Amino acid sequence: MVDITTDVLIIGTGPAGSSSAALLSSYGIENVVINRYRWLANTPRAHITNQRTMEVLRDLGHEVEQEAYLFATEQELMGENVFCESLAGEEIGRMKSWGTHPLSKAEHLMSSPTFMNDLPQTFMEPLLFKTACKRGSNARMNTEYLRHVQDSDGVTTTCLDRMTGKEITIRSKYLIGADGGNSLVAEHEDLPIAGKMGVGGSMNILFKADLSKYVAHRPSVLYWVMQPGADVGGIGMGLVRMIRPWNEWLIVWGYDINEPAPVVDQQMVTDVARQLVGDPGLEIELLSANTWTVNDAYAEQLSKGRVFIMGDAAHRHPPSNGLGSNTSIQDAFNLCWKLASVLKGQAGQALLESYNTERAPIAKQIVTRANQSIGEFGPIFEALGMTGGSDIDNIKANMDARCGTDPQAEAQRAALNAAIAFKKYEFDAHGIEMNQRYASDAIVTDEQVEPAFAKDEVLHYQPTTWPGARIPHAWVFDAIGGKHSTLDLVGGGKFTLLTGLGGEAWCEAAKAVGDALGIEIVCHVIGPRQTYVDHTGDWARTREIGDAGCVFVRPDQHVCWRSDALSVDPKADLKRVMISILAL
């Protein structure tokens, strides 16, 4: 007997599940989202929120984006990434991070209408979840996923109602497993997972203490503490992480995964906090403490039939580079418009296969990147002479040696500077956040060659309208002086065509093809005396097509086709492209 029927059942209310629910409800798709617990994230795990994620929030609505900024710590307070013996002890080095270096800041400003910020998961989840529920999602807490079976028409899922102890059955057309790093949905579908779980051990200690006197003059999200044992297990180094400036903190300290997990009690966490802060008399108000393991695993296949996995269910990795929650939300942005199109009868089922084709390579990429970043702390320890065991006197002597005037000391300082600067691959890797390009049947390149990256693609975002890439950002202006990003002109669950003067026939084609397929295709002509004017010429310089050409953009803001100039038969071209993308 079926107790509940819906179009999409989502397991999990984390960043992946809550954003899926919010997006599906925004697109008018009925969905049920469940969580086995009574409420959302109870610790502020994810925090670094990158520009691409903020673009998803902006697409969900101005009020969603603004509320995120309201609760976030702003970018300016994120950037003085400090390496030190302890917060009170000697500072060993520093690097500008998270888009606060003047050169990086310029790249951030030119890339997106949004700002990177620090939004703890304890704020992000309620924002997404609230948006979902307000717009129509049916949320069911204390409801635990147990198992599912899929057939050719849908999925039947059995859950445990933890309040009554009774099993309930939910019938949906599709199932999303956003159930985190120990995903049962992935396991039950037998989706192949490459890599290893549990490659390192870490403990989180969440506490309140006013540490302003150690940090306010060098504002940062992360203070890296180099003490003997800091490179054991965990995320590569001891970490004091700001949750709220400057009186709420999370310490991350590693332990050897081959030993039993340490007993994390009040005395132990107070000792660790005092040691990393460097204040033997520090009093902390402990909020929570727990251990967790570092993973290095990704799903090689993100879907099977009517079942999809996303977020940590699909990519399991340490927090390095801050990519976890960001990628989870971006997975949802990729999948949800496709589900909506199929459920509305506007697309064929085959469109859904492109979720796997497009997102599986990203899962692998970010897991690899995050784990590589752990290893890249090594040269800092080496430069300081901290790799030769735990003999404190020896370590101290090696660290003192860098203060000398001899050539070895100079070489040691140079090695340390280089090792710290190299950490930009973790702390300022704008490219990995923004350069995602897709290749699948839901993109029509017409054999246009992908542009090569002119700079390091991990560090630098490179705008392009090559089909597969996210549409580049440029400001355009309306008649009363308001400025709009090109990203604001697209998205919102719709396909959009951007053209310029002489390309009006594209808009006629968009109307005709849209009417024939029963889909709204938005069209904007950008040019003088049009609704949007490119006063600065930034869009003309970025768009890589002529005035009368067009850039055709999917609901997830990725370009799916473009034409250099007005074609002989715009209607026929657009129809061909839509039929191909939507698998009709």
Query: Contacts with ligand FDA in 203-242 (CB under 6 A)?
Result: 204
Q: Which is nearer to ligand FDA, 17 or 570 (CB)?
A: 17
Residue closer to ligand FDA, measured from CB, 295 or 412: 295
The smaller minimum CB distance to ligand FDA, of residues 47 and 543, is found at: 47
d(CA 184, CA 144): 11
Residue 41 CB, shortest distance to ligand FDA, in Å, is 6
Q: Which stretches does DSSP call E strand in 166-306?
A: 166-177, 193-208, 222-225, 238-244, 248-255, 285-299, 303-304
Say if residues 468 and 450 touch (Cβ distance below 8 Å): yes
Among 144, 187, 256, 457, binds ligand FDA (CB under 6 A): 144
Query: Is residue 79 involved in binding ligand FDA (CB under 6 A)?
Result: no
Is residue 6 involved in binding ligand FDA (CB under 6 A)? no
* Bond before 466 cis per omega within 30 degrees: no
Query: Does 180 participate in binding ligand FDA (rule CB under 6 A)?
Result: yes
Report, in Å, the least distance between residue 145 CB and ligand FDA.
4
Residue type, position 486, single letter: T
One-letter amino acid of 384: L
500 binds ligand FDA (CB under 6 A): no
Of the candidate spans 13-21, 79-87, 188-196, 442-450, the one that interacts with ligand FDA by CB under 6 A turns out to be 13-21
CA–CA distance, 59 with 434 (Å, rounded to integer)? 16
Which of 55, 279, 312, 426 contacts ligand FDA by CB under 6 A? 312
The residue range among 223-231, 265-273, 310-318, 444-452 that interacts with ligand FDA, by the rule CB under 6 A, is 310-318
Q: Sheet with 48-49: list strands edge to edge.
A: 48-49, 117-118, 73-74
**DSSP count for the chain of H helices, then E strands:** 19, 25
Is residue 11 a contact point for ligand FDA (CB under 6 A)? Answer: yes
Q: With contacts defined by CB under 6 A, how many residues of the chain interact with ligand FDA? A: 35
Specify the amino acid at residue 495: F
- Residue 329 · residue 55 · CB < 8 Å: no
Residues in region 29-68 near ligand FDA by CB under 6 A: 34-37, 45-48
Residue type, 210: D
Instruction: State yes or no: residue 374 binds ligand FDA (CB under 6 A).
Output: no
Is residue 319 within the footprint of ligand FDA (CB under 6 A)?
Answer: yes
User: Are 338 and 354 spatial neighbours (Cβ–Cβ below 8 Å)?
Assistant: yes
- In whole angstroms, the minimum distance from the beta carbon of 531 to ligand FDA comes to 36
Tokens of 471: 């549409």
What span, in angstroms and rounded, lies between the C-alpha atoms of 471 and 469? 6
Q: How far is the CB of 164 from ligand FDA (least distance, A)?
A: 16
Q: Give φ, ψ of 134 to 5 degrees.
A: -60, -35
Does position 324 interact with ligand FDA (CB under 6 A)? The reply is yes
Q: Which residues bind ligand FDA (CB under 6 A)?
A: 11-17, 34-37, 45-48, 121, 144-145, 178-180, 184, 204, 252, 292, 311-313, 319, 322-326, 328
